[in-house]
Amino acid sequence: MDYKKAGVDIEAGYKSVELMKEHIAKTMRPEVLGGIGGFSGAFSMNAFKNMEEPTLVSGTDGVGTKLKLAFLMDKHDTVGIDCVAMCVNDIACAGGEPLFFLDYIACGKNYPEKIAEIVKGVTDGCVQSEAALIGGETAEMPGFYPEDEYDLAGFAVGIVDKKDLITGEMLKEGDVLIGMASSGVHSNGFSLVRKVFEMTRESLDTYYDELGKTLGEALIAPTKIYVKALKSIKENGVKIHACSHITGGGFYENVPRMLKEGTHAVIEKDSYPVPPVFRLLAQKGQIEEQMMYNTYNMGLGMILAVDEKDVDKTMEAIKASGETPYIVGKITAGDKGVTLC
């Protein structure tokens, strides 16, 4: 008996690492010390010593049951973007600049080419967010996961000068809410998606005119990364008063998280186009509108509040970064919460 006969192939692990290296190299930043393969990743903080009060911000998350689609579609090169996005968007909406990322892949059997595909997606997300992939772990766990399945999670660290943290304390009545378009469902609410739509290859390969693509293509579209957009706003001299990453819990859970006591968010539902995938989901599943807005991003992946005088500058900065902004509402005085009208 040996480890391979027990279900763990060390040689496959070595091959996975070799296949990853060319992708990981694309994410490197000058602050990264050492190479891939050590027991830890090292990152120099020397470049940030001129900050008044350098503050680390962090985020961790996974892809969730969206991975079930990747298994069915045998498409593994974009879920890594989802994993990075879920972490770095949280950092960015606090005002932070993502610095580095680490991933964790647990699988039933290590297929090196599949692992390399997953990591390629992770590196694509890191490139989009300008974060370095400085380490990770691939754990082969036979008997715990089915051979053809895996889980993917990650962890990111960023930095911000404490005076630039977005805390919501600057929020005031009259501030304008600006939303940035999502790419679709992103990485939340897939347990409900999988109840509404039959999870078979045939179902996912079905083409819908209203989507302009197959159901699978619409659902697996990777989560938008808003790091560059938020950085562009800052570089254009705009102070964001509050910011919310619209993830699990939709509008009703996430928007109040960016508010301070005595402020209320009012969002106009017809102020931006709701992507057709959400209309199809609501129709097929007979899901009430409030539940849709309480579960999904409904087309807005990030919502931020700025002073009314900064609206035009903010809109232009977002457009310059390649994202699509909409003026979606305003801040009023009132109980901490959100009204959709």
pLDDT in tens, 229-238: 999 999 999 9
- What is the rounded average pLDDT of the residues 8-28? 82
Query: Is the predicted pLDDT of residue 152 greater than 80, yes or no?
Result: yes
Query: Is the predicted pLDDT of residue 38 greater than 80, yes or no?
Result: no
- What is the rounded average pLDDT of the residues 304-317? 98
- What is the rounded average pLDDT of the residues 12-27? 83
Query: Is the predicted pLDDT of residue 106 greater than 70, yes or no?
Result: yes
- What is the rounded average pLDDT of the residues 315-334? 98
d(CA 69, CA 76): 9
- Please state, as a whole number, how many other Cβ atoms lie within 10 Å of the Cβ of residue 308: 11
Higher pLDDT, residue 49 or 326: 326
Question: Residue ranges of the domains in the chain?
Answer: 10-164, 176-340
Query: Is the predicted pLDDT of residue 2 greater than 70, yes or no?
Result: no
pLDDT class of 288 with cuts at 50, 70, 90: very high
pLDDT (0 to 100) of residue 6: 65
pLDDT class of 17 with cuts at 50, 70, 90: confident
Give, in order, the Cα–Cα distances in Å from 170 to each of 254, 278, 310.
Answer: 18, 33, 14
Q: Which range, of 35-44, 142-151, 319-328, averages the lowest pLDDT?
A: 35-44
pLDDT class of 51 with cuts at 50, 70, 90: very high
Burial 174-212 (b: 16+ CB within 10 A, else e): ebbbbbbbbbbbbbbbbebbbebbebeeeebeeeeeebe
Strand partners, 266: 330, 339
Domain 10-164 fold: 60s Ribosomal Protein L30; Chain: A; (3.30.1330)
- Please state, as a whole number, how many other Cβ atoms lie within 10 Å of the Cβ of residue 20: 23
d(CA 152, CA 86): 12
- Please state, as a whole number, how many other Cβ atoms lie within 10 Å of the Cβ of residue 44: 12
Mean pLDDT of the chain: 95
The rounded Cα 142 to chain-centroid distance in angstroms is: 29
Which pTM was predicted?
0.95
pLDDT class of 3 with cuts at 50, 70, 90: low
Give pLDDT tens digits for 291-304: 999 999 999 999 99
DSSP 260: P
Cβ atoms of residues 190 and 117 within 8 Å: no
Portion of the chain with pLDDT greater than 70, in percent = 98
Placement of tokens 């409900």 in the chain: 192
Q: Is the dihedral of CA 130, 112, 188, 275 positive or negative?
A: positive
Burial 124-149 (b: 16+ CB within 10 A, else e): bbbbbbbbbbbbbebebeeeebeeee
Domain 176-340 fold: Phosphoribosyl-aminoimidazole Synthetase; Chain A, domain 2 (3.90.650)
Cβ atoms of residues 148 and 110 within 8 Å: no
Pairing relationship of beta strands 213-214 and 54-62 according to DSSP bridges? unpaired
**Closest alpha carbon to 67 in 295, 276, 219:** 219
